[in-house]
Amino acid sequence: MNILFIMYDQLRFDYLSCAGHPHLDTPNFDRVAKKGVRFTQTYVQSPICGASRMCYYTGRYASSHGAQWNGFPLRVGEQTIGDHLRKLGMNSWIIGKTHMTADAEGMARLGLAADSVIGARQAECGFDNWVRDDGLWGYGPDGLL
């Protein structure tokens, strides 16, 4: 079984043609939406994108998990969806941006090295990291800017 969860950033509810936008044409996302589940009535726990992601990853309120701002650490030991899926024998990868910062102080206190398997997963919200960039990937005529 494969699960592909796409979390958009700064996308209005109707900015897909499958959602009824009169001018935007998004055939690839429309095809994915047709084959899967498209949530049309959703709410977020935080207007800050990083904190909102941490709420989804942990299933908890921002006031509970503590990562209430972009770049603010998710405390060591917080269980995320990546941790739960791994217990079921699934690989759990993260691609793109999260605005998550590792809890370096908590990791140091517990003796977790960032280059160990457990330390790396703690530093990546419980996921294995495929590719991550919390900035913008800018491509121009000469390649990556």
Task: Judge whether 101 lies within some domain.
Answer: yes
| Residue pLDDT, tens place only, 61-111 | 999 988 888 888 889 889 999 999 999 999 998 888 777 888 999 999 999
**H-run or E-run covering 129:** strand 128-132
CA–CA dist 39, 20 (Å, integer)? 14
- Average pLDDT of the residues in 54-63: 92
Task: Judge whether 48 lies within some domain.
Answer: no
Total domains, the chain: 2
Q: Are residues 88 and 129 in the same domain?
A: yes
Residues catalogued as catalytic: 49, 99
Q: Give first-to-last CA distance, the chain, whole Å.
A: 37
Task: Judge whether 50 lies within some domain.
Answer: no
pLDDT > 90: percent of the chain: 30
Give the end of a domain, one of 42, 59, 78: 42
Task: Judge whether 88 lies within some domain.
Answer: yes
Q: Which of the four pLDDT bands, split at 50, 70 and 90, describes residue 136?
A: low
Task: Judge whether 82 lies within some domain.
Answer: yes
CA–CA dist 81, 58 (Å, integer)? 6
Task: Judge whether 62 lies within some domain.
Answer: no
Q: Is 59 left (phi over 0), alpha (psi -120 to 50) or beta?
A: left
3-state secondary structure of 59: coil
Could you give the C-alpha distances from 56 to 25, 59, 75, 79, in angstroms and in order? 28, 5, 15, 11
Determine the structural domain holding residue 18 and report its residue range.
14-42
CA–CA dist 98, 70 (Å, integer)? 8
Q: Are residues 89 and 129 in the same domain?
A: yes
State the burial class of residue 10 (Cβ atoms within 10 Å of its Cβ: 0-12, 13-18, 19+).
exposed
Full-model pTM = 0.76
Task: Judge whether 122 lies within some domain.
Answer: yes
Q: Are residues 78 and 128 in the same domain?
A: yes
Q: Are residues 36 and 80 in the same domain?
A: no
Q: Are residues 75 and 125 in the same domain?
A: yes
Q: Are residues 78 and 115 in the same domain?
A: yes
Task: Judge whether 32 lies within some domain.
Answer: yes
